[in-house]
Amino acid sequence: MTTLPPDLLRLRTLETYLQLLLDEVRRAIAHAEQREAERQRGIRTRPPAPDWLLEPGLSRDAPPVQVHAGGCWNAGKRSKGISRDAALRALADGVKACGACRPDSALGFIDG
């Protein structure tokens, strides 16, 4: 057990300090709860990941580089989500299928 000062003046000072500290802790808790609520709301409202990705070339005029399945670890950061039909069309137009996620197999695309 801690020993408290015996006189009223120091006890009141300690009470004031502890009240200020408690108010600061409660504000920090409220702020942390608000951040967590915002994070959870962001998770709930996040759009679903695309099923197929198209990785663009390095320049604006360069043709696409690869088609990936959604969530592929090998997809470039600039990859854009595309529809199933667009993925099939890109493969038919000669865009390379990713060797890691094999979107051609998942799409049932047979080159030929």
pLDDT at 88: 94
Per-residue pLDDT reduced to its tens digit, 3-35: 999 999 999 999 999 999 999 999 999 999 999
* Structural tokens at position 78: 């600039």
Is pTM beyond 0.85 here?
A: no
Closest CA to 82 of 1, 9, 14, 72: 72
* Structural tokens at position 11: 């006890």
Domain spans in the chain, listed from the N-terminal domain onward: 7-46, 52-107
Contact 100, 74 (CB under 8 A): yes
List of the chain residues with pLDDT < 50: none
User: From CA 28, how far away is CA 26, in angstroms rounded?
Assistant: 5
Give residue 84's Cα distance to chain centre: 24
Contact 94, 81 (CB under 8 A): no
pLDDT at 61: 87
pLDDT at 34: 98
pLDDT at 23: 98
